[in-house]
Amino acid sequence: MPFELIPYKSAADWQRALIKRLVARVREDLAADRPAVLCLAGGSTPLAVYAELAAADLDWSRVTVLPGDDRCVPHTDSHSNVYQFREAFAKAAGITVLPITEADGSNGLQAALDATNANPMHFSATVLGMGNDMHTASLFPGAVNLAAGIDKLSHTDVLQTVPDPLPPEAPYPRITLTAQRLLRSRAVILAIRGQAKRDALRRAMDLGDPLQAPILALINDSATNTEIHWAP
Ligand SMILES: O=C1O[C@H](COP(=O)(O)O)[C@@H](O)[C@H](O)[C@H]1O
């Protein structure tokens, strides 16, 4: 089954379940003496989850987190996903937060290549978000290189991209992990909230075309059971 939709009655239930799932994934990898690496969605939806996850009783010094995509802005800018992760995980003593963008906000690929080359194995978990336009990570409908980003046979892990049109709330070029890299993970979790995102998911399924609805490349993968966690 390519995906499983898990609805919650409240945001609090959704948040608790996501934290439990992520803690379990990290504990399992640490117990097996594997590196624990969480590839995480940016944007606004999951930030409260990360802030509470950071208080979990884990050996954070053995955990790495990196964004699945980021905006090409300086790391001191609050639109930067890595800036938001550093704030959210401030309580997780010893954690490594890896950037995939350049600190000065330029659109180079070196940081992304360093982050992915240093972590070539399966992620402990990939957490995805989704925009109302059905983009996930920075795989945007209409981007000129979207086909390369969702090609499952590609050996490319990271891409520079420019959303077209640029979203008004974050009008920046982006660096994104590709679909095949995001899916190389022991758990693929789409974490979304609100009716607009549920409607967008329904629209994506009706369209049936990942070039129009990139989220489909991540939830309709025959080799992956993507968990979709949704709350109002
Ligand atoms: O631009 C982005 O948007 C999506 C969705 O963000 P949200 O604010 O609607 O939760 C996010 O998943 C992605 O990582 C981010 O860079």
Alpha carbon distance 227, 147 (integer Å): 24
Between the CA of 103 and the centroid of ligand 1 the distance, in Å, is 20
Q: Give per-residue pLDDT as tens, 168-180.
A: 999 999 999 999 9
Between the CA of 31 and the centroid of ligand 1 the distance, in Å, is 31
Helix, strand, coil share (%) of the chain residues, nearest 5? 35, 20, 45
Q: Give per-residue pLDDT as tens, 25-57.
A: 999 999 999 999 999 999 999 999 999 999 999
Q: How far apart are the first and last CA of the chain?
A: 24
Pocket of ligand 1 (CB under 6 A): 41-45, 69, 81, 129, 131, 137-138, 170
Does the predicted interface ipTM exceed a cut of 0.85? yes
The answer to whether the beta carbons of residues 65 and 97 sit under 8 Å apart is yes
Residues in the chain: 232
Residue reference for tokens 């129009």: 212
Mutate to test the pocket of ligand 1, among 15, 136, 198 (most ligand atoms within 8 A of CB): 136
The CATH number of the domain covering residues in 3-231: 3.40.50.1360
Q: Which band of pLDDT confidence, cut at 50, 70 and 90, is reported for residue 2?
A: confident
Between the CA of 46 and the centroid of ligand 1 the distance, in Å, is 9
Atom from ligand 1 closest to the CA of residue 41: 14
Domain ranges of the chain: 3-231
